[in-house]
Each structure stands twice: as C-alpha cells, then as structure tokens.
Structure 1
Amino acid sequence: MEDSASSTSGRRGSTQAPENYVWPLTALVLVILPQVLVPASMREGPPAFVPAVEGVVALIFLAIAAKPGPVPRRARPLILALIAVLIAANTAAAVRLVTAVLRSTPPGEAPATVTQLLIGAAVVLSTNIVTFGLLYWQIDGGGPDGRLAHARPFPDFQFPQTSAAELAPPNWQPRFPDHLYVAFTNVVAFSPTDTMPLTHRVKGLMAIQSLISLSVIGLVLSRVINILPP
C-alpha cells in the first residue's frame, strides 16, 4: 500500500517540460511557403503583402524563441500582438477572395478559374487554422508558461484529458498540437468537437474563426459549382 501510494504521489508530482516554439514556427512557415511559391496566376488572393507580413512575424518569433531559457513573460503581449497581425492579414486575404467571388468580372478580364479559387481558398483556410491555433495556444490558461506554472486558476478550454484522470498523465497540460486541432475542427465543423470553450473570449474568437471559414468555403464552393460544366 505504501509503495502504491508513494508511486501515485510521484506521478502526481510529475510535470511537463517547458514547451518550445519549434512546432508553432514550423506550422507558420508551412502556410507561408505556398503563398510565396505558388505563382499568382494559379491562385486568387492573398495579396503580396500578406506573406510579407507573415514572414516578418515568423522572423520575430524566431528571434524570441532563439534566446536561451523560457520565453519571458514580458514578451507575451508582443507575441499576442504579432498573432493578431497574422489574423488581420489573413482576414484581408479572405475578404479579397470573397470579393473576387462576388463581384462581376470586368469586361476584357478573364474570370477566376476553378483552380485559382480552390488554391486561394486552401491557402486562406490553412492560414486561418494555424493563426487561430497560435492564438488559442497563447491565451489558454495564460499561455504555455502560464499553464505549466498554473498562473491562472481556470483554463479557457476544457480538453478531455483534463476532465477524466484516466485519459492522460497527472498534471497534463495542452500543447500547441492540441490547440491546432481545436482550430482545425472549428474550421471544418464550424463548432467545437471534443474540446469545449469555457470563457467568453475564446467563444468569441471561435465564432470569428468559423465566420471567416464559412464565408470562404460557402462562397467559393458555390462559385466553383457554377463554373464546373454540367
């Protein structure tokens, strides 16, 4: 009994290692690359300034993460501001794509093709997933470092692992892939699936993310269906 109790106590005292920025930066680079490598003639939106802004933000993230030790708490407002810039830039790309779908094609100008619309929509939606995943990762429970230090008494999301002790190790905390999955399911299902938003701010953010993706998916698909031959 004593061995069992001490083992349980030891497991409860275990903690996760601090989270680094490798996966967030990798995800961000993966959504920037298609915007740079795919020729503009093959896609509709985003404008050229969007990948430029995203590239600058990625470099700043890299500079912050490259410093030895954990990311300082005083850098968190800057990180949140940079993620907000990413979301604003991608929202501008979404608006441009939706406008291109809704407007009449000017005389003498070729209408957007199915390939251009689908590639443009894929770029906007994948960026939507990554940028909101970054935001959820940074605000949930005070961010990566705040969650490990239990700086906030209540989380912003309820993951299955936090509601049932047998589903995860003791002291389990969500990491970037968990928040990226939340952002993904919110785009494809327009609602939370296995993870529930608990606070007003993340409910509002998830509503905005769903609205952006719904506008792009709904309008682009309807236009593609109209373009395709019967």
Structure 2
Amino acid sequence: MKTQTRHTRRWPASLAVIAVLILQLLVPTQVNALPRWLMPALGLLLLLPLIWTNPFHLRRDEPWLRWVALVLVAVLVAVNAYYLAGMIFLLNHGDANQGVVLVKSALLIWVTNVVAFAVWFWEIDRGGPFARAPEHERDAERPDLMFPQMTVDLPGWKGWLPGFTDYLYVSFTNATAFSPTDTMPLSVRAKTLMGIESAIALLTVAVVAARAINVL
C-alpha cells in the first residue's frame, strides 16, 4: 500500500495576509493620506504569485518565491508603521474629539502587526517553511525560535514541527506582553523582529493610553 506524503499547508498564512489586506481598507482616512486601495493592491500583487504557485500546500519550491514572500511581509510591516505614524500625528495635531478614529486605527494597526510578524516568523524560522517541511529534501537551518515542544520529551510530541498557528500565537503573545513568553528567540534576526513588533505594539497602545489620559 502506497503511503501518501503529507504536505505542509500554506493556505493559513495566505488567508491571514488576505485578512490583513481587507483590514487595511478600513483604516480611517485621517491616518492615511494615500488612496485607500493603494496599499491593499500592492500587497495583493505580491500575494498572487504565492497563491498561484502553492495555493493550499507547499509543493513548488522556487528561490524567487521566498524573496517575494519576504518582501510581502516587509511591505505589510512598513505600511503598518506608516499608519502608526499617521495616528501619532493625528493625536498631536488632529481634532481632540476624534477618539473613535484613534481607537479604530489602533485596533487595526495592532491586529495587522500581529499577523504580519506571525507570517514573518513563519517565513524565516529554520530557513523557511520549505526547509522545515519533512517532505522536502532540504536541510533546515538552525532554529530561530525555541518552542517548548523542542525542549522536552513528551509522549505524542516526537518529531513535532510548528505550524502557522504556532507562529501566530508567538506573535500574539509578543505583541501583548511586549516581550517573549513561552517561545524564546535564538537568532539575531528573530530577536530583531520581536523587538520591532513589541515597539510597534507598545507605541500603538501608548497612543490610545495618551488619548484616554487627555479625556480624563
């Protein structure tokens, strides 16, 4: 009987990026001086070749696809930082009664921050998802993140590999606690990304806190 090869799923990461692009359409114009459709269109343009070549699972491995994926997450983070700058400017120079706009913008920026860095962690850890996938004949690089499952020998967890949900959880807890929680960064690039994500999340929360202090 022929054993079926299990392929690593790509669709959760693609779905998360699509959700972020939709959220960008909701960013208030008060913090975004550019056309509302411009940033989502740029992100979609970069996402399309990734979906076209690997719509559901990681089957086709091309060096240029990895670069497209890394450029995509870099663009998402850069655009989000631009929105954050616009929100800070609005806080200092906008109408004092625009609290709803600030809170809405902060929520969208925070969620985008979590998803974008989750995809980034997913794309770099051990050389990327193709390098981690057991069905591909590639040697994975040394881990960038140390998950708890990698440090203990528990029944049923032998040969465990992180999926996109695990990286999403890492990104969520890092943005919430402004520091690593159960998963530790090992490489310089992982520490750098975690530091940037925490800084964006902290500034986003600080803007809302400053607005609340002004109201009180």
Shorter-chain TM band: 0.7 to 0.9
Per-residue CA deviation, residues 37-67 of structure 1 (Å, 9 max, x unaligned), is x4836x7448523333233333333223239
Bigger radius of gyration among the two: 1
Contact in 1 for aligned 2:145/2:187 (Cα 8 Å) = yes
Consecutive unaligned residues in structure 2, runs of 5 or more: none
Deviation, 1:94, is: 1.4
Match 2:24 to one of 10, 32, 35: 35
Which has the higher relative contact order, 1 or 2, with Cα contacts under 8 A spaced 6 or more apart?
1
Alignment of 1:136 with 2:124, yes or no, is: no
Partner of 2:85: 95
Match of residue 211, structure 1, among 189, 199, 202? 199
Contact 2:146 2:185 in 1 (8 A): yes
Equivalent residue, structure 2, for 1:165:
153
- Is 1:60 the counterpart of 2:54? The answer is no
Aligned residue number for residue 133 of structure 2: 148
Question: Is the contact between residue 21 and residue 65 of structure 1 (CA under 8 Å) also seen in structure 2?
Answer: yes
Look up the SS of the partner of 1:216 in the other structure.
helix
Worse overlay, 44-53 or 181-190: 44-53
- Between Structure 1 and Structure 2, which shows a larger proportion of helix residues? 1
Q: TM-score, normalised by structure 1?
A: 0.80
Q: Partners of 1:46 and 1:221 in 2: how far apart?
A: 24
Given the superposition, is the C-alpha separation of residues 45 and 165 from structure 1 closer, same or farther in structure 2, using an over 3 Å criterion? farther
Contact 1:46/1:93 (8 A) holds in 2: no
Aligned to 2:103: 118
Q: Which residue of 1 aligns with 2:112?
A: 127
Change (3 A) 1:68 1:22: closer
**Taking structure 1 as reference, are residues 168 and 126 closer, same or farther at Cα in structure 2, changes over 3 Å only?**
farther
Q: How many residues align?
A: 208
C-alpha distance in 2, partners of 1:63/1:111?
Answer: 46
Following superposition, the deviation at residue 209 of structure 1 comes to: 0.8
User: RMSD of the alignment, in Å?
Assistant: 2.7
Q: Which residue type is aligned with residue 70 of structure 1? A: R
Report the Cα distance in structure 1 between the residues aligned to 2:27 and 2:123, rounded to whole angstroms.
33
Deviation at 1:167, TM superposition (A): 6.1
CA offsets, 1:156-200, max 9 Å, x none?
001011111206522111111111111111111001111000011
Q: State yes or no: 1:72 paired with 2:67.
A: no
Unaligned runs of 5+ in 1: 1-15
